[in-house]
Amino acid sequence: MSDYLLEVKNLKMHFPIHGGIFWRRIGKVYAADGISLKVKNGETVGLVGESGCGKTTVGRSIARLYRPTGGKVIFDEKDMSYISRKELRELRRDLQIIFQDPFESLDSRQTVGDILEEPFIIHHIGTTEFRKAEVKKLLNRVGLDENTINRFPHEFSGGQRQRIGIARAIALKPKMIICDEPVSALDVSIQSQILNLLLELQEEMNLSYLFIAHDLSVVKHISDRIAVMYLGKIVEYTDADTIYESPLHPYTHALISA
């Protein structure tokens, strides 16, 4: 049995560039080019880099929102490159994602209750009464009043919407959550509240996180180990304290100084 819940081996995600009169393929964008990392049960690995470095592409490729160009993603000892669509749907109960912009990731036509009930419906879990009760528990757990169940996303603040996104991610009791810039659009005071909520949930549920961000200080606050990404590649990968005490790559120095 592996010590790691997630193993990413030489992951590549290349996007074609088209141009010319006949819109032919004229090149590639190497958004992720040979990414390798591992995440243990209950561990947080931070993935940090500037905008455009490919870190969000890595997260979405791991979650199979993109189909990787090459490499392997092994989650819970299953190679995600070779699983069926049915198996992928089942696996997504254990591998969830939180997006940067909660307003964009929440259906504006649905109430909060409908949004949080949806995962249970998709996976055919429980009766209507059970699902309604679980939705109220989720709202309470992320610090929202259960009486907001019939409100729509636009009626909440940015921080509250991110709490709804977190509630949806933990609804099916996953093993791992990919956190794609979950606090970068929030005020500093709200950022700390969301980070503390994530840490509390990790302790309660033994969650693993891949925490993606462009701010190294935010990543250090929550991470056990940190991978620094630059131009589609990981240029440094070590524990959170060492990366501040003894950074090796010039780009890591630049992030610390920023």
**For the chain, which domains are there?**
45-56+86-257 (3.40.50.300)
pLDDT at 22: 67
Burial of 58 (0-12, 13-18, 19+ CB in 10 A): buried
Give the CA distances from residue 117 to residues 2, 130, 136, 145, 189, in Å, rounded to whole numbers and listed in that order: 33, 10, 10, 16, 29
pLDDT at 139: 98
Query: How confident is the prediction along the chain (258 residues), in pLDDT tens digits per residue?
Result: 678 999 999 999 998 887 767 667 777 888 899 999 999 999 999 999 998 899 999 999 999 999 999 999 999 999 998 888 888 888 989 999 999 887 778 898 999 999 999 999 999 999 999 999 999 999 999 999 999 999 999 999 999 999 999 999 999 999 999 999 999 988 998 999 999 999 999 999 999 999 999 999 999 999 999 999 999 999 999 999 899 888 889 999 999 887
User: DSSP states of 193-221 as a string?
Assistant: HHHHHHHHHHHHHT-EEEEEES-HHHHHH
pLDDT at 86: 86
pLDDT at 53: 92
pLDDT at 17: 81
Return the sign of the alpha-carbon dihedral for residues 125, 130, 131, 134.
negative
